[in-house]
Amino acid sequence: MKQDNQEIRLRFAPSPTGFLHIGNLRTALFGYLIAKSQGGKFILRIEDTDEKREVEGAVKSLLEILTWAGIEFDEGPGIGGELAPYIQSQRFDIYQKYSDELLAQGKAYRCFCSSELLEKMRNDQAEAKLPPRYNRACRDLSPEESLKRVEAGEKFVIRQKIPLAGEVKVIDELRGEIIFQAHDLDDQVLIKSNGVPTYQFANVIDDHLMKISHVTRGDEWLSSFPKNILLYEAFNWQAPKFIHLPLLLNKGGGKLSKRQGDVFVEDYRAKGYIKEAIINFCALLGWHPQGDKEILSIEELKNDFSISGLGSSPAIFDLEKLDFFNAYYLRQKSEKELIDLARPYLIEANLPTEGEKLERAFLIARDRLKKLSDSPEALSFFFEKIEAEENLIVWKNNTLETAKNNLAEILDFIAKIEENFWTKENLEEEVLGWVKREKEGRNGDYLWPLRTALSGLKNSPSPFEIAWVIGKEESIKRIKEVLNLQKF
């Protein structure tokens, strides 16, 4: 039996079936945060017992994306640890040993029923509107008979003997005690006919051997929870504490599914969501911090996270909230950091990837970015003016002629501002002062043509910001182009 002062050890136990589902990132994160907030260890275990579902390269990509997200493991494949190996396909002899133990104690049995027979059983049950359940035909074979059939080369699986009646009480840390009826439970398969353990068996053996203190997993595992507990009982092991994390729902109340949008962390990363935002967003999917502070860095989360803040009601996956966090964290980045983060998008859009002008552009565009992938759209007009209709420079009821005249006047004025003074603050002060003094403060009549002439866009940053980013020469060139002036 374990001690009360047992070490805090949590694990993330993904099956390498492809990309990382955002819900699984949440599961990993919660495990990580519970471990770290209590000074414990976080372990990665690869559950690759289902060869059919395995995808090549998935372990590598899992590690890559978890590392990207900032989740670090103390033990695991490629990291090492005293309880290695951490990949289930390398532990088959261990599972064999433990299933032999249960067989010897009469707590498990060999089942020789063929898959055709089992399928027929299921079909008959479905027809009779009964739940699918193994009819326990092999449960009471004598050990001698069982061995004889093995020696005769018959194929078999190993099943656990589940009590035929009575209650199975389990405790979930978020839901309290849950009572299941033993007669509702199937004699679950522990080892398949090819000698490979089932997820349910390997998972329990490994959680025990790896000294896991708390299991965090999705609540889709609640229905098999009593069977896990019966296994712990069969071995006379103390079960870890179980925390079944609440379901993730989309805003409409449905399950998160690929059809409605992105479900993989890789998708979000590719769209230009940054890790700080994804982590902060995921941390709040079912966990409520003490106090109102919602913006939390991973370091803060590692301190503040607590099981008591977890709830069992479904968490809503609200993309607007993710956008909010992403925009927030992008605003905290320096121009240089933004350039590094946005580089792939800049390259793809054939934009420069370094230089002072790019830094200025990010300084101005930063507040408008929701995602890194917005960068090309938010920045490209600084590097190449957008071709626009001539009339774009016309403010409200003005004529094109007035707009051009006003633009020409403002050009005349700003052309006199010296290069050294060409800052956004100076430009703003000078131009606004001039409009106020000379043009009765008719800002729209002058600033609209200026801004649209500089950007070619209906919506854009202020003319002073644009003029500063693109510089005096380019500003004058753009204005002259609009005025169709070769020379000025």
Active site residues: 258
Q: Decide: is 226 part of the binding site for ligand GLU (CB under 6 A).
A: no
SS3 87: strand
Q: Are 68 and 28 in contact (CB under 8 A)?
A: no
Q: How far is CA 326 from the centre of its chain?
A: 13
Task: Fill in the per-residue mask, 462 to 481: x = in contact with ligand GLU (CB under 6 A), - = not in contact.
Answer: --------------------
Q: Which is nearer to ligand GLU, 98 or 109 (CB)?
A: 98
Q: Which is nearer to ligand GLU, 221 or 434 (CB)?
A: 221
* CB crowding 296-329: b at 16 or more within 10 Å, else e: bebeebeebbebeebebeebebeeebbebbbbeb
Q: Which is nearer to ligand GLU, 66 or 450 (CB)?
A: 66
> What number of chain residues touch ligand GLU (CB under 6 A)?
8
- Rounded CA separation 358/344 (Å): 14
Residues in CB range of 449: below 8 A, 6 or more apart? 393, 394, 395, 403, 404, 406, 407, 410
User: In degrees rounded to 5, what are phi and psi of residue 443?
Assistant: -55, -50
Q: Give the one residue of 10, 34, 47, 381 binding ligand GLU; rule: CB under 6 A.
A: 47
Cβ burial of 257 (10 Å; 0-12, 13-18, 19+) is exposed
Window 163-222: residues binding ligand GLU (CB under 6 A): 199, 203, 217, 221
Q: Which is nearer to ligand GLU, 83 or 349 (CB)?
A: 83
Q: How far is CA 107 from the centre of its chain?
A: 41
Window 335-374: residues binding ligand GLU (CB under 6 A): none
CB of 196 to ligand GLU, least distance (A): 14
Q: Which is nearer to ligand GLU, 50 or 300 (CB)?
A: 50
Q: Are 172 and 242 in contact (CB under 8 A)?
A: yes
Helix or strand run (H / E) with residue 324: helix 319-331
- β-sheet with 241-245: strand ranges across: 41-44, 9-12, 214-218, 241-245, 167-172, 176-181
Q: Which is nearer to ligand GLU, 47 or 445 (CB)?
A: 47
Could you tell me which of 52, 63, 60, 55 has the C-alpha nearest to residue 12? 63
Could you tell me which of 462, 467, 468 has the C-alpha nearest to residue 479? 467
- Rounded CA separation 107/227 (Å): 13
Task: Fill in the per-residue mask, 2 to 21: x = in contact with ligand GLU (CB under 6 A), - = not in contact.
Answer: -----------xxx------
Q: Which is nearer to ligand GLU, 203 or 375 (CB)?
A: 203
Q: Which is nearer to ligand GLU, 256 or 327 (CB)?
A: 256
Q: How far is CA 78 from the centre of its chain?
A: 22
CB of 43 to ligand GLU, least distance (A): 11
Helix crossing, 400-414 with 463-482: angle to 10°? Answer: 120
Q: Are 209 and 45 in contact (CB under 8 A)?
A: no
Q: Which is nearer to ligand GLU, 175 or 439 (CB)?
A: 175
Kindly write down the DSSP assignment for every residue of 355-419, as one continuous string.
Answer: SHHHHHHHHHHGGG-SSGGGHHHHHHHHHSPPP--GGGG--TT--HHHHHHHHHHHHHHHTTS-G
Task: Fill in the per-residue mask, 294 to 333: x = in contact with ligand GLU (CB under 6 A), - = not in contact.
Answer: ----------------------------------------
Residues in CB range of 307: below 8 A, 6 or more apart? 34, 173, 214, 243
Tally: H helices and E strands in the chain: 18, 11
CB of 210 to ligand GLU, least distance (A): 12
* Contact positions vs ligand GLU (CB under 6 A): 13-15, 47, 199, 203, 217, 221
